[in-house]
Homo-oligomer: A and B are copies of this chain.
Amino acid sequence: MTKILLYQQISDDLCELIHQGVYLPGEKLPSLRALSVKRKVSIATIQRAVEELEIIGLIEARPKSGYYVCFKTRTEVAIEQPIISMKPKSVKIHELASQIFHQCGAPDVINMGTSYPSSDFMPTPALQKIANQVIKHHMSDIVEVQFSAGHAVLRDVLAKRMNESGCQVSSNDIIVTNGCLEALSVCLRAVAKPGATIALESPGFVGSLQLIESLGYKALEIPCHSVTGMSLEALELALEQWKISAVLVVPSYSNPLGSCMPEANRKKLVALLSTHDIPLIEDDLLGDLSFDGSRLKPCKAFDKKGMVLYCSSVSKTIASGLRVGWIAPGAYYKEVSYFKTFTNISAPQFSQIVVAQFYNSGKYERHLRQLTAKIAKQVYLIQSYIRQYFPEGTLVSSPQGGCILWVVLPKGIDGHHLYLKAIKMGIGVIPGQLSSATNKFDHCIRINCACDPKVDIQRSIKTLADISHEILGK
């Protein structure tokens, strides 16, 4: 269903082959002529495809020799965080967030705001085939509500996958939800009463901040390192100072920073909270989306006491519209099940069966490789353009997975100001104002790189950069 240009398709394919290790670091790619003959396209098209890979630093041209796969495709750059005083705060971002998301979603806007991958990245034809079979064979299941924690076959495969990533859970430990936001909401309600303090990364996920706002909690923002994630030292300090009812963490590819907490830190985090008897709500929504195919163990894998409430969904990997998420709530099963039931009884059967069958079809792994290769390419491209076009002093994150870039603008540029000018030009991004209950990140913007691959990404980023220059008066 994607109308992707030929050179983009070839560039995607080469990108995937490199990620699969078909072409190894240091190895020479076939010549442009050879590729042109093999793919039956003009040399100019091949040239264009290869240039894209060069821009994102995946290959390099060596004079009079050809193109070689780079040894280290990217370097991680740490973004230093301002020192802040941590204090529980009421969140009041919903009004602004609602307005911004509404504008970003308008039909004529290039939406780099909302952090959902474009449907062009989704395995629509495969899902369509499966859906046809589901309608044919499971219609009776679809029409009748189930008073259960979720479809048994889905819970089985989710448990199997979680075990493969190191979590010891069975299908009876899993509760299916309508997406990850519902999972987070139900977990929060299960462990904390209104007025309670929830600790989370800073900058934090706008959806989590809005949840905290809608449920009447206070947010305690813990500084987050752009590479290693939530600062455990800062969290320890906060635990001494404040009564915290739960910690909400995104260990893999946090939104917006893109940080990925090392396994040692995950283990330490679980142990730390375990000694304090504080539940950890783990948002592993993006855990599968690592650019190099690696998959770190979730915090849940280190959970001995059942204090980790693991949440995820298929919204970023299979289909956001199916609204299938899940929780492995550990020792909080009963409370979570209670609040899930009194949210909406259970998730629709159709979506659950389709997702279960897609996982079980064996097509998921290949789809995931293609998906992450495509997203990684767009992340690298946008990163390169930002470095190329934005004013001096701009910093951009270097995530190893996920689909989000975090841009720290030079002094003098306000994220919301940039947003307002950009949306008038038909480009939607999220200003840093939505990533915190404080004004610490007012000079930042968040960019969703998994946007529609058919848009002119280079031109869009250049427009954002031009606005930034204009604001600086250069």
Residues of A within 8 A of B (CB): 1, 94, 98, 101-102, 105, 114, 116, 119, 122, 124, 127-128, 131-132, 135, 139-147, 177-179, 181-182, 185, 194, 210-211, 214-215, 315, 319-323, 338-339, 341-351
Q: Give chain B residues whose Cβ lies under 8 Å from the Cβ of A346.
A: 323
Q: Give chain B residues whose Cβ lies under 8 Å from the Cβ of A131.
A: 135, 139, 142, 350
By the criterion CB–CB under 8 Å, are A344 and B178 in contact?
Answer: yes
By the criterion CB–CB under 8 Å, are A128 and B139 in contact?
Answer: yes
Q: Give chain B residues whose Cβ lies under 8 Å from the Cβ of A343.
A: 181-182, 185, 343-344
Minimum C-beta distance from A4 to chain B (A): 15
How far, in angstroms, from A124 to B132 measured CA to CA in the complex? 15
By the criterion CB–CB under 8 Å, are B122 and A144 in contact?
Answer: yes
By the criterion CB–CB under 8 Å, are A127 and B143 in contact?
Answer: yes
By the criterion CB–CB under 8 Å, are A181 and B342 in contact?
Answer: yes
Residue in A105, A142, A179 whose Cβ sees the most chain B Cβ within 10 Å: A142
Q: Give chain B residues whose Cβ lies under 8 Å from the Cβ of A102.
A: 147
21 example contacts (A-B, Cβ-Cβ < 8 A) are as follows A1-B139, A98-B338, A102-B147, A122-B143, A124-B139, A124-B140, A128-B139, A131-B142, A131-B350, A141-B321, A143-B320, A143-B321, A144-B319, A179-B344, A182-B344, A194-B194, A214-B339, A321-B350, A323-B346, A350-B350, A350-B351
What 8 new A-B contacts, CB under 8 Å, besides A128-B139, A323-B348?
Answer: A116-B145, A122-B144, A131-B142, A132-B135, A146-B321, A179-B345, A214-B342, A348-B348
Closest to A135 in B: B131
How far, in angstroms, from A135 to B438 measured CA to CA in the complex? 45
How far, in angstroms, from A353 to B165 measured CA to CA in the complex? 36
Q: Give chain B residues whose Cβ lies under 8 Å from the Cβ of A214.
A: 338-339, 342
Say which residue of B132, B139, B146 sits within 8 Å of A127 (CB atoms).
B139
Say which residue of B1, B119, B348 sits within 8 Å of A322 (CB atoms).
B348
Q: Give chain B residues whose Cβ lies under 8 Å from the Cβ of A116.
A: 144-145
By the criterion CB–CB under 8 Å, are B114 and A143 in contact?
Answer: no
Q: Give chain B residues whose Cβ lies under 8 Å from the Cβ of A338.
A: 94, 98, 214
Minimum C-beta distance from A60 to chain B (A): 37
Q: Give chain B residues whose Cβ lies under 8 Å from the Cβ of A143.
A: 119, 122, 124, 127, 319-322
Q: Give chain B residues whose Cβ lies under 8 Å from the Cβ of A101.
A: 147
By the criterion CB–CB under 8 Å, are B178 and A348 in contact?
Answer: yes
- Top 3 A-B pairs, shortest CB-CB distance: A145-B320, A182-B344, A143-B319
By the criterion CB–CB under 8 Å, are B142 and A322 in contact?
Answer: yes
Closest to A346 in B: B323
Minimum C-beta distance from A20 to chain B (A): 25
By the criterion CB–CB under 8 Å, are B177 and A321 in contact?
Answer: no
By the criterion CB–CB under 8 Å, are A181 and B344 in contact?
Answer: yes
How far, in angstroms, from A127 to B1 measured CA to CA in the complex? 26
How far, in angstroms, from A127 to B143 measured CA to CA in the complex? 9
Closest to A189 in B: B214
Closest to A322 in B: B348
Q: Give chain B residues whose Cβ lies under 8 Å from the Cβ of A350.
A: 131, 321-322, 348, 350-351
